[in-house]
A and B are shown apart, each in its own frame.
Chain A
């Protein structure tokens, strides 16, 4: 059974600081997605990481994927209040341990980020 674990689950940080959210998963997969959810809103796609070593950046957020370590990170640089939200990683379930896709995602429990002035 594929398990996806995020940590921390809650993160309170000050504006201007840097921090990293970690996403570990338990079986081979080379597709990982990051989503953002604002309170009472839907999920918004942030990053799609499709191969080992993939790195993507958008503004103050940078995501990376290490499929060998089964780890993805979401790094926040110089946080601002507008980044306050819950961040989810989601892993694509492979057909086998060697790749392919079943086409659905297993989501982590989310990291609730609060950026304070």
Chain B
């Protein structure tokens, strides 16, 4: 049963600290998405990659967020420095291609105090 995995599942950190979230897409999926979900804003696309190349990161605050795919089995989302307004659930999703349905990971619940 192929699934997207994310680590950590929960993260509590203090303002100003660096946070790194990791995602392992489903094997064979070449498109990876990062989303953020909050009660106020709903589900927002932060960035996505195809074949490890970033296609769009316009949804991400550039000064503090960065997203990379060091290899086909790992995507990372980093926040440095973190702020309380970054508290949210961050989802990673993968798809076989751009027009295919996206499969979501379990999410990382981030709390910045």
Contact = CB atoms under 8 A, between A and B. Distances in A.
Nearest to A48: B101
Task: Classify the interface of chain B: helix, strand, loop or mixed.
Answer: strand
A31 B97 CA distance: 14
Q: Which of A44, A105, A107 has the most CB of B within 10 A?
A: A105
Contacts of A102: 56, 98
A101 interface: yes
A107 B59 CA distance: 14
A103 B45 contact: no
B33 to A, nearest CB: 7
Given A103-B31, A104-B45, A104-B48, A42 B105 contact: yes
Interface in A89-107: 92, 101-107
Interface in B76-94: 91, 93
A97 B39 CA distance: 31
Contacts of B48: 103-104
B25 interface: no
A110 B42 contact: yes
B53 to A, nearest CB: 12
A33 interface: yes
Interface of B: 31, 33, 42-43, 45, 48, 50, 55-56, 91, 93, 98-99, 101-107
- CB-based closest 5 A-B pairs: A103-B98, A43-B104, A107-B43, A42-B104, A48-B101
